Amino acid sequence: MLKHLIGTAAATLALTALPAMAELKIGSIVELSGPGAAAGTNFRDGVKMGFEEINAAGGVLGEPVAITEYDSQTDPQVSRAMVQKAIDDGVVAITGTVFSSSTVVNMLVARQAGIPQFTGSEAPSITSMNNPYIFRTAFGSQKGIPKLTKYMAEEMGVKTVAVVWANTEFGKGGHTAFLDEAERLGFEIVADIPTEQAQTDFSADVVKLKGIQADAVFVYLTEEESARFLREVRKQGVQMPLVGDTTLTGHKVIELAGEAANGALGHVGLTPDANIPAMTAMVDRFKGQFGYTPDHNAIKGYVAAHAIKCVAELAGKADSQAIADRMHGLTLKAADCPGVLMDTSWDDSGEMSRESFFVEVQDGKQVVKAILPAN
Amino acid sequence: MAELIQILISGLAAGSIYALAAVGFTLLWQASQTINFAQGEFVMLPGFFVLIGMALGLPMWPAVLFALVLSLLVLGAAFKKLIVEPMLPHGTLPLVIATIALGLLMKESVKEFYGATAQPFPAVFPQTVYNVAGASVSAQDIGNLIVSMLAIGGLQLFLNRTRTGRCMQASAQNPGVAEILGVDVKRMVLYTFLINAALATIASVLISPIYLAKFSNGETLGLVAFIAAIVGGFNQIRGALVGGLLVGVIDNLSAVYVSAEYRQAMPLLLLIAIILLRPQGLLGTKEGRAV
């Protein structure tokens, strides 16, 4: 009996003494419900696919990656709590959130804990707070919009513009960046129309547009609102060119707006329709895995996963501080780190730059009209 | 002038859909003293039934019919049998709480099974735009307005001109006396719930092409319809109609001429004004209840 007990105890001790399989914990904190669900779900799936590929290829520095998902509910305070929860769970890095209103709140928690955060948000304020732990996966609107306005001035000959924007952190950032550029380029703003987050009825806003004449309408709304807006524009027969940055011509918007999306123009940092073999292959794999066409948010998430892997390998250790330190001033070339899809640079504020695209929606697809250089 | 016409037509079109949902509030209140706080979700859900029908391979209109049948079963008969009948003997408040819980359950279930993102919903009317005195009036707006008006007008005719309708009214006004006179009160109450489910389905099919089908659509719709029902008069169908149209028009007028930022506050201000100045609603009648 005693022998049996000793044997059992020895076996238990031996098992518990074995080193546990180390794993790299990543917190995926995104908008899985609420108004940001379209963007958040895409970003989440991109992150998931990226890390699944990384795990299949041996993980990060030999360690498998374990992703834990947290739903921010598109609520800044919930997102803050989720970031804290992820940190308490011991994550090495965070991916998300996508909505700027959430990111400006939750990034302070990650900063305090020294956890690098790879966000899909585009509000300019995010990289202007001297936060050494925040990194973008798409450039901020203060970098994207100058590319767009330059194209509008030089290629479209725009002189008068109406602006329709979301009265949120995301929208305010784009609105301010656009007005600054408009002033610099001498655009006359003939109408300035704010809208609310999760707005469902755009008839009054489009009525306002109908009362003015402009060379173009700059639309800066999130995905679902963009689709509702485009449908209303079609319904009321507005003929002015609609130009957006990132969201207006996104794939989710095209799916939701249907035929009403045709003719919309926009600047996009990432597009599955870019003639880049790595991007095309990624899009095909994504469609196969998730059954829908990824939008720019999915590609952002995918890039975030691969950036984390490549940076950890460059730093030589999968450690939060090492990753954050190595990210500043870094350029990842697609040749060395194929998962980032395009050559990408991050500056000391976490802002990124790379080439981007000007597209038009034709027959329900993005058609690249011009490649815009990195700035 | 063209702008005003445009705003009025858009407001009336949206308001007529709110009215459909608001009529549901008044119907259930009259028939069974049920304030259904899941009414917004009742309007959200049939849109997903249509999408499920289409995913099963049905064309649009058969899918709408499929959604109508499902709604009658789930939002009409099952709602009455499983929620209202067991809860009603415990008073109005437990029933109100039960409908709030039901609304949450419906919302979260749609999110769980169909996803949190909005879904495209096929247009019911052609995308044609007409020019009326300089205003662009879409076939969708005109269609929404006509269908809603026909539905509510048809309901009024049914209630006033048919024997069953009058029995339903009698059951709502005094169930005890109605029963003595040989009216099958339980059946009449069931009809009321079925009519509410049918109206919710019509509202859903009309509004989903504008709002897109999304699990959270009921939040806005439920609140607006509730306000419309109170503004118009909670115990009058024509009051709910007027309330819905008024809220739709005021919402659009305030967004254009006052402030887009405060547009959501305008119906609430209207609600406060009505409660202070005419608590029974614009077309409602004063009603006393023993407590």
How confident is the model over B230-234, as a mean pLDDT? 90
Q: How many domains does chain B divide into? A: 1
Mean pLDDT of chain B: 90
Q: pLDDT tens across A202-222, in order? A: 988 998 898 899 999 999 998
**Consecutive H or E run containing A359:** strand A356-362
**Consecutive H or E run containing A367:** strand A365-372
Please check the confidence at residue B83 and state whether its pLDDT lies above 50. yes
Looking at the structure, do residues A194 and A258 belong to the same domain, yes or no? yes
Looking at the structure, do residues A29 and A83 belong to the same domain, yes or no? yes
Please check the confidence at residue A1 and state whether its pLDDT lies above 60. no
- The per-residue DSSP string of A97-143 comes to --SHHHHHHHHHHHHHHT--EEE----GGGGSS--TTEEESS--HHH
Q: pLDDT tens across A106-127, in order? A: 999 999 999 999 999 988 889 9
Q: How far is B60 from chain A (nearest CA, A)?
A: 16
How confident is the model over A361-369, as a mean pLDDT? 93
How many CB atoms are closer than 10 A to CB B161? 9
Q: Give the domain CATH number at A214.
A: 3.40.50.2300
| CB-CB contact of A334 with A355 (8 Å) | no
Looking at the structure, do residues A205 and A171 belong to the same domain, yes or no? yes
pLDDT confidence bin for A19, thresholds 50/70/90: very low
Q: pLDDT tens across A47-93, in order? A: 999 999 999 999 999 999 999 999 999 999 999 999 999 999 999 99
Looking at the structure, do residues A255 and A322 belong to the same domain, yes or no? no
Contact A228 B210 (CB under 8 A): yes
What are the tokens at B180? 């003595």
How confident is the model over B5-10, as a mean pLDDT? 88
Looking at the structure, do residues A163 and A107 belong to the same domain, yes or no? no
Looking at the structure, do residues A179 and A260 belong to the same domain, yes or no? yes
Q: Of residues B158 and B115, which shows the higher confidence score?
A: B158
| CB-CB contact of A121 with A40 (8 Å) | no
Comparing CA positions, the residue from B128, B141, B126, B129 lying closest to residue B206 is: B141
Spatial separation of the C-alpha atoms in residues A244 and A296, rounded to whole Å? 14
| CB-CB contact of A258 with A100 (8 Å) | no
Spatial separation of the C-alpha atoms in residues A54 and B212, rounded to whole Å? 36
Question: Closest to B260 (Cβ–Cβ): which among A41, A195, A234?
Answer: A195
| Residue where one domain finishes, among candidates A268, A291, A315 | A268
What's the confidence (pLDDT) of residue A6?
52
Q: Give the domain CATH number at B195.
A: 1.10.3470
What's the confidence (pLDDT) of residue B291?
54
Looking at the structure, do residues A326 and A215 belong to the same domain, yes or no? no
| Residue where one domain finishes, among candidates A218, A250, A268 | A268
pLDDT confidence bin for A18, thresholds 50/70/90: very low
A211: nearest CA partner in chain B: B3
Spatial separation of the C-alpha atoms in residues A169 and B87, rounded to whole Å? 44
How confident is the model over B263-271, as a mean pLDDT? 87
Q: Establish if B95 belongs to a structural domain.
A: yes
| CB-CB contact of A173 with A141 (8 Å) | yes
B192 touches A: beta carbon within 8 Å = no
What's the confidence (pLDDT) of residue A45?
97
Q: Best interface-test mutation with A: which of B113, B117, B129 has the largest number of A CBs within 10 A? A: B117
Distances (CA, A) of B275 to B20, B30, B234: 22, 19, 12
Please check the confidence at residue A22 and state whether its pLDDT lies above 80. no
Q: Residue A244 is part of which domain span?
A: 142-268
pLDDT confidence bin for A37, thresholds 50/70/90: confident
Spatial separation of the C-alpha atoms in residues B60 and B35, rounded to whole Å? 32
Percent of chain A with pLDDT strictly greater than 70: 94
Q: Establish if B18 belongs to a structural domain.
A: yes
Q: Angle at which helices A223-236 and A203-210 pack, to 10 degrees?
A: 50
Task: Give chain B positions within 8 Å (CB) of A198.
Answer: 216
Contact B261 A259 (CB under 8 A): no
Largest CA distance in chain A: 94
Looking at the structure, do residues A132 and A197 belong to the same domain, yes or no? no
Residue owning tokens 């209140």 = B29
Contact A224 B251 (CB under 8 A): no
How many CB atoms are closer than 10 A to CB A291? 7
Task: Give chain A positions within 8 Å (CB) of B5.
Answer: none
Looking at the structure, do residues A83 and A188 belong to the same domain, yes or no? no
Q: Establish if B65 belongs to a structural domain.
A: yes
Contact A234 B217 (CB under 8 A): no
Please check the confidence at residue B195 and state whether its pLDDT lies above 90. yes
**Buried-state track A129-159, b at ≥16 Cβ within 10 A, e below 16:** eebbbbbbbbbbbbbbbbbbbbbbbeeeebe
Residue B36 backbone zone (phi > 0: left; psi -120 to 50: alpha; other: beta): beta
Q: Residue B132 is part of which domain span?
A: 2-277
Spatial separation of the C-alpha atoms in residues A74 and A62, rounded to whole Å? 34
Q: How many domains does chain A divide into? A: 2
| CB-CB contact of B215 with B107 (8 Å) | yes
Q: Of residues B31 and B221, which shows the higher confidence score?
A: B221
Spatial separation of the C-alpha atoms in residues B12 and A140, rounded to whole Å? 40
Question: Closest to A32 (Cβ–Cβ): which among B6, B116, B256?
Answer: B116
Q: Establish if A297 belongs to a structural domain.
A: yes
Q: Using H for helix, E for strand and C for coil, what is the string for A194-205?
A: EECCCCCCCHHH
Contact A256 B10 (CB under 8 A): no
Looking at the structure, do residues A73 and A191 belong to the same domain, yes or no? no
Task: Give chain A positions within 8 Å (CB) of B212.
Answer: 224, 227-228, 256
Q: How far is B113 from chain A (nearest CA, A)?
A: 13
Q: pLDDT tens across A247-258, in order? A: 899 888 999 999
Looking at the structure, do residues A240 and A303 belong to the same domain, yes or no? no
How many contacts does A have with B, using Cβ atoms within 8 A?
Answer: 95
Q: pLDDT tens across A133-190, in order? A: 999 998 888 888 999 999 999 999 999 999 999 988 889 988 999 999 999 999 999 9
Looking at the structure, do residues A201 and A285 belong to the same domain, yes or no? no
Spatial separation of the C-alpha atoms in residues B17 and B82, rounded to whole Å? 27
